[in-house]
Structure 1
Amino acid sequence: MAYGMFLDNSYQAVFDVGRSNPEEFFYQADGGELNYYFIYGPSPKEVIQGYASLVGRYPLPPLWALGYQQCRYSYRNEQRIRSITAKFRKYNIPCDVIYFDIHYMDDYKVFTFNHKRFPDPKGLISDLEKQGFKAVVIVDPGVKIEPGYFVYDQGMEKDYFVRDKDGGYFTAQVWPKDVYFPDFLKPEVREWWGELHKFYLDLGVDGIWNDMNEPAGWVKDIRPLPDLMIPSGTPAWLEMVHGDKDNPEPHAKIHNVYALLEADATYNGLKKLNPEQRPFMISRAGYPGLQRFSSVWTGDNTANWYQVKMTLSMLLNLNISGIVMSGADIGGFLGTPGSEMYARWIQQGVFYPLSRTHTAIYHKSQDPFSFGKEVREISKSAIELRYQLLPYTYSYFKLANDTGLPIMRAMLLEFPKDEKTYSISDQFFWGEWILVAPVVEKNAKNRKIYLPAGKWYKWQNPEQIEGGKEILEPVDLSTLPILVKAGAIIPLAPVMNYTWEKPWAPLELEFYPGEEKSCFNLYEDDGTSFKYLEGESLSTIYCQEPIISGYLITKQEGKGNYQPRARELALKIWGTENPSQVELLTNGNQEKLVYQYDSEKRVLALKLKDQVKGFQIKVSYKK
């Protein structure tokens, strides 16, 4: 039996889960009420769904957010941005998003652009769009104290900044030196902050990256180089007070929800300003409910092998906790990975819900083509696989929007009765059917993989493996071990340089036969708008099942008003015999299909024109 507990208290808290006493769960908070919810499963998936019904679910993201994303602190001028994006297209390595870190700003002031470094930001972003890149800019909450700066002037005029206990405005230092912080507890401040994003949307910016939003800052800093800051001292955060001046709330209560309130302001501001487009956000901090607005990344990690492995535990826990769009800095933010480490990290990173490489200032370049030809080709292959899996992945993000269930799943979610899965954190499921076991050890020659009971296939391989045991898989640097649960139906798109470069045509469907009937619900829409809420979407259920002397594939009639472009279906059935015939059954009509059979790979391939209406394909074998 599985159950969950949600302790809804925003004060600083301590959780002791059996450390002091193995038989006790201990919790304490520095203030506030003891509000908790008991969520009965009885399965782990039902616990997650129950929790999501309380705190909310992640909105369906724009399709481009599921592509690969490239970032660094900082691509500090237009030339650097153009150079890095040109390399992706030169080497045909898929990428959808390029980030602008703090150096795009004028003196680190939010809602500004430095026109010496970026003379024509609107023209640049327009050019990037034409090349298939979306632009995401960083926005910190700290507002520079500078009379004449419009954000500061507006905030002062309307009393929109956080005060201290003495009645003045709370001051700390961040990148622009002395700053004030917006008081997001006030609804009118959230409204104002959201409206300020018109500055970015007018330039063509596509997404917002909220950083330093715990909030974070320091007392003073030393700047030995123009772009290098060495901070020191911790601001007296508990001197902050929020909300109504005559009846303020202490920062001890608001600290953990500050980023949630900022995300609320930003998301709803973007949606109001551009109601035809789904907003995309990424946040460093948050509180339960953040998933209603934003994705999350795990913050400033380090390039070492311990964190290559630890990242998987962090992300699996985030996904169990409702943060279904989460990721970590591929390659590590601090320090420089070697070529082997970066190759291993990007192999697992293409299976992060949020897949982004990021590194710090004054570090070497960190991207798929900075570690030599071998790693470039490994990176290309891994990223291309992410793009091929878009139909599968996008369908699971719709499921996450409907239910709260993540696509990146701890083993125990799929096999809750198998106690061996409870402590496994270095392999995971991508959806229900794909098991990913990335290599997380240096100089590895083999990879141990635990397969729960049942039958399994290696990725795009006819060989069946009996589960309920651990296997040892030989690996070299190019190896990313992927297994598929028998019964899987995996939809695949063509390889593309960015998610909207071409339609999912032909749509490939890979079948891995099992012993029972199994189905997959393919979800499609325009990938950008909210029209799916009005029925402009298409859900199509594909099923497979063994029958006497044969195998049956069924496509149910699609539900919804979205119509994909005309396309071909390319079906592959792995691990099958050479059939005696293959028949297509539609509307009472029956016709034989031409097919190809590869006896060496034991794969059956056939093609037919796609249609919204349903059909059956009967594969017959010699008795």
Structure 2
Amino acid sequence: MYSRGGPNPPSTCYTVSKTTSEPDCIDMGTAYWYGGSEMRKQYWPINKVNVPMKAYVSHDTIQDMFGSVVERYFLSSNGTAITMDEDQPLFASINDNKNNQICLKSQNVKPYAYPIFKKVSLTYSVCSSTDIKAIHDATRSQFKKPTGIPNPDLFRKPIWSTWAQYKADINQSIVIDFLDTIEKNNFTIGQLEIDDNWTPKYGDLTFKTSTFPNASIMIAEIHSRNLPVTLWVHPFLNNDSEGFKTAKAKGYLVMNWLGTKPALTNWWNGKDSGVVDFTNPAAANWYLDELKKLQAIGVDSFKFDAGETTYLPVTPYRLHNGAGNPDSYTEAYARTVSKIDLKNRIEIRTGVQTQDLPVMVRQIDKYSTWGYDEGFKTILTTALTFSIFGYPFVMPDYIGGNGYNGNLPSSELYIRWVQANALMPIMQFSYTPWFFKNETVSKITRDMIALHESYGDKFVALARNSTVTGDPIMRPMWWIAPNDEEALTTDSQFMLGDDVLVAPVMDQGVTSRQIYLPSGQWKDELNGQVISGPRTLDYPVKLEDLPRFTKID
């Protein structure tokens, strides 16, 4: 037994070590549990998920249940936390077949790199304290605090991207027309992002001259309006690209187990592609040098896609650093690319022990649906999961979702999405309000952007505070009410700091919602009424309403 944390109050911990591949299970009991990973079905708490035994590493949730941001950390409402050593080939299940258990095992099989892990062992710690907030305070010291914050502009003004509205059908004229229309409609811009299909081949970090004949002139035009421009990039080199040939010749790709040739991978835009080995310092520096050539013509920063272990080679491979845990690659990718932009406009979508990086962390692509299966409801539950993992600079993907499979967002879904996002740290648009040809959509969107901008100083202050305390910007309700049943279970409210309670409308077609106010005096920002908590309100909502309350005592 040992103690962890400070005196307010400390926790008591014990460590479990086993040299067996048999699973060890912790019963969830009647407590509410949180943590684990970004997930395809992101429930809050996680008791309702059903995850069979899986490698506990970063995945693309389109292909697996565990997601891009994964930490070896669970905590519960009864004041219990579980932490697991990073240096072990860990597998985990959560409520598999509704068994109400979190099960862990260590097994020397894919995707872990045998024989680097020569001994199968499972080690984890169980800590306990008085309540969920106390145990979280005692155990979150395992996460590094951010060393800086993203550019303050990004907490005040929205990002606009070409992806969801145009997909890969972009060119130089479309980018400028996109910008012109945003400005014509009098919307503010934090930065303009050019997404997929600006390169001749995937893996060549140069503009495609057939569709971007004067990229430097285009960038200069964007800069003339005092706007930064960013580009979508990724770690893949398709085998028909010049980048692949260069990286292969220099030994910069992830290699096969014998180190004799590249081990190839498949991704959504390529088959038998190379992937840059960011655990190789020479390869990492080469990749950064290619990005610097783009910066030389004016590109300000980048959206870094992928990086999950999902996209490492399917055949046996060896990372340059010799690590057996493939998450070593995910961490190396994030740490490498974070160096490219000193103005801190970088966006990534992976997180494994990289809380210290001053970058925006984007949630995985969202579908334009209302539910929990990577739909609208998960922008809040995923943001809270990122927050307790120590990633405060949450980007909830595109407002309205991505419109995949021909399922475009409805006007109502878009309105509720922009409202829910308005008091989250970062707003990002691709589908434009005028896409819906509905003035109500444009008016409410404009109002929500203005609301977001009015809280800009608070976002920046909370972001800077996170570098000192590690406290998130968005906080679960139990952050201020760790023993309240309602605070522990609500998945449609959050705190902005400790004094602003946000309760967006997350359901289709409703004219009211229940809102839980913890103990204290709360000012209703829609009508000015002061209400005493604890209390649950049956709160009427109109289409234009974003319910929010400020604690005044």
Q: TM-score, normalised by structure 1?
A: 0.67
User: CA distance change for structure 1 residues 63 and 129 in 2, over 3 Å: closer, same or farther?
Assistant: farther
User: CA distance change for structure 1 residues 128 and 28 in 2, over 3 Å: closer, same or farther?
Assistant: same
Q: 1:16 offset after TM fit, Å?
A: 3.0
In structure 2, the residue matched to 1:55 is 143
Q: Given that residues 9 and 29 in structure 1 are in contact (C-alpha distance below 8 angstroms), is that contact kept between their aligned partners in structure 2?
A: no
User: CA distance change for structure 1 residues 35 and 472 in 2, over 3 Å: closer, same or farther?
Assistant: same
| Letter paired with 1:282 | E
Question: Which secondary structure does the structure 1 equivalent of 2:522 belong to?
Answer: strand
**C-alpha distance in 1 between matches for 2:174 and 2:305:** 22
In structure 2, the residue matched to 1:137 is 231
In structure 2, the residue matched to 1:285 is 350
Q: 1:95 offset after TM fit, Å?
A: 2.2
**C-alpha distance in 1 between matches for 2:129 and 2:226:** 43
Matches within 5 A, 1:259-274: 259-268=330-339, 270=340
Question: Which secondary structure does the structure 2 equivalent of 1:422 belong to?
Answer: helix
For residues 484-511 of structure 1, give each alpha carbon's deviation from its aligned partner in whole angstroms, at most 9, with x where no partner exists. Answer: 111xxxxxxxxxxxxxxxxxxxxxxxxx
User: CA distance change for structure 1 residues 290 and 190 in 2, over 3 Å: closer, same or farther?
Assistant: farther
**C-alpha distance in 2 between matches for 1:461 and 1:309:** 26
User: CA distance change for structure 1 residues 49 and 278 in 2, over 3 Å: closer, same or farther?
Assistant: farther
| Letter paired with 1:455 | Q
**C-alpha distance in 1 between matches for 2:355 and 2:222:** 29
Q: 1:122 offset after TM fit, Å?
A: 2.4
For residues 317-374 of structure 1, give each alpha carbon's deviation from its aligned partner in whole angstroms, at most 9, with x where no partner exists. Answer: 111111212223321212201111111111112233232234xxxxxxx222212111
| Letter paired with 1:304 | T
Matches within 5 A, 1:137-286: 137-146=231-240, 149=242, 151-166=243-258, 167-174=260-267, 175=269, 178-215=272-309, 237-243=314-320, 248-250=322-324, 253-254=325-326, 256-268=327-339, 270=340, 277-286=342-351
In structure 2, the residue matched to 1:381 is 447
Q: 1:382 offset after TM fit, Å?
A: 0.3
* Structure possessing the higher radius of gyration over alpha carbons: 1
Q: 1:389 offset after TM fit, Å?
A: 0.7
Question: Which secondary structure does the structure 1 equivalent of 2:318 belong to?
Answer: strand
**C-alpha distance in 1 between matches for 2:345 and 2:548:** 29
In structure 2, the residue matched to 1:356 is 428
Q: Given that residues 43 and 416 in structure 1 are in contact (C-alpha distance below 8 angstroms), is that contact kept between their aligned partners in structure 2?
A: yes
| Letter paired with 1:331 | G
In structure 1, the residue matched to 2:221 is 127
Q: Relative contact order (alpha carbons < 8 A, sep ≥ 6): 1 or 2 greater?
A: 2
Q: 1:53 offset after TM fit, Å?
A: 3.6
Q: Given that residues 82 and 124 in structure 2 are in contact (C-alpha distance below 8 angstroms), is that contact kept between their aligned partners in structure 1?
A: yes
Matching of residue 6 in structure 1 with residue 99 in structure 2: no
Q: Given that residues 15 and 28 in structure 1 are in contact (C-alpha distance below 8 angstroms), is that contact kept between their aligned partners in structure 2?
A: no
**C-alpha distance in 1 between matches for 2:368 and 2:172:** 27
The counterpart of 2:416, out of the listed 336, 340, 344, is 344
In structure 2, the residue matched to 1:330 is 399
In structure 2, the residue matched to 1:90 is 184
User: CA distance change for structure 1 residues 89 and 118 in 2, over 3 Å: closer, same or farther?
Assistant: same
**C-alpha distance in 1 between matches for 2:262 and 2:494:** 47
Q: Given that residues 48 and 404 in structure 1 are in contact (C-alpha distance below 8 angstroms), is that contact kept between their aligned partners in structure 2?
A: no
The number of residue pairs the alignment matches comes to 448
Q: 1:471 offset after TM fit, Å?
A: 0.8
Q: Given that residues 52 and 403 in structure 1 are in contact (C-alpha distance below 8 angstroms), is that contact kept between their aligned partners in structure 2?
A: no
Matching of residue 410 in structure 1 with residue 502 in structure 2: no
Question: Which secondary structure does the structure 2 equivalent of 1:87 belong to?
Answer: helix
Q: Given that residues 411 and 424 in structure 1 are in contact (C-alpha distance below 8 angstroms), is that contact kept between their aligned partners in structure 2?
A: yes
Q: 1:193 offset after TM fit, Å?
A: 2.4
**C-alpha distance in 2 between matches for 1:292 and 1:39:** 27
User: CA distance change for structure 1 residues 74 and 379 in 2, over 3 Å: closer, same or farther?
Assistant: farther
User: CA distance change for structure 1 residues 21 and 485 in 2, over 3 Å: closer, same or farther?
Assistant: same
**C-alpha distance in 2 between matches for 1:444 and 1:200:** 48
Q: Which moved more, 1:164-173 or 1:424-433?
A: 164-173
Question: Which secondary structure does the structure 1 equivalent of 2:523 belong to?
Answer: strand
For residues 498-557 of structure 1, give each alpha carbon's deviation from its aligned partner in whole angstroms, at most 9, with x where no partner exists. Answer: xxxxxxxxxxxxxxxx3xxxxxxxxxxxxxxxxxxxxxxxxxxxxxxxxxxxxxxxxxxx
Q: TM-score, normalised by structure 2?
A: 0.75
**C-alpha distance in 2 between matches for 1:103 and 1:292:** 28
In structure 2, the residue matched to 1:309 is 377
**C-alpha distance in 2 between matches for 1:19 and 1:146:** 45
Matches within 5 A, 1:367-378: 367-371=432-436, 372-378=438-444
In structure 2, the residue matched to 1:519 is none
In structure 2, the residue matched to 1:431 is 497
| Letter paired with 1:169 | P
User: CA distance change for structure 1 residues 470 and 141 in 2, over 3 Å: closer, same or farther?
Assistant: same
User: CA distance change for structure 1 residues 430 and 383 in 2, over 3 Å: closer, same or farther?
Assistant: same
Question: Which secondary structure does the structure 2 equivalent of 1:102 belong to?
Answer: coil
**C-alpha distance in 2 between matches for 1:392 and 1:136:** 25
| Letter paired with 1:204 | G
User: CA distance change for structure 1 residues 283 and 370 in 2, over 3 Å: closer, same or farther?
Assistant: same
For residues 273-304 of structure 1, give each alpha carbon's deviation from its aligned partner in whole angstroms, at most 9, with x where no partner exists. Answer: xxxx3333222333122552533222222111
Q: 1:207 offset after TM fit, Å?
A: 2.2
Percentage of pairs with the same residue = 22
Matching of residue 78 in structure 1 with residue 172 in structure 2: yes
User: CA distance change for structure 1 residues 51 and 154 in 2, over 3 Å: closer, same or farther?
Assistant: farther
Q: Given that residues 201 and 240 in structure 2 are in contact (C-alpha distance below 8 angstroms), is that contact kept between their aligned partners in structure 1?
A: no
Q: 1:178 offset after TM fit, Å?
A: 4.1
The counterpart of 1:319, out of the listed 387, 392, 413, is 387
Q: Given that residues 90 and 122 in structure 2 are in contact (C-alpha distance below 8 angstroms), is that contact kept between their aligned partners in structure 1?
A: no
User: CA distance change for structure 1 residues 204 and 8 in 2, over 3 Å: closer, same or farther?
Assistant: farther
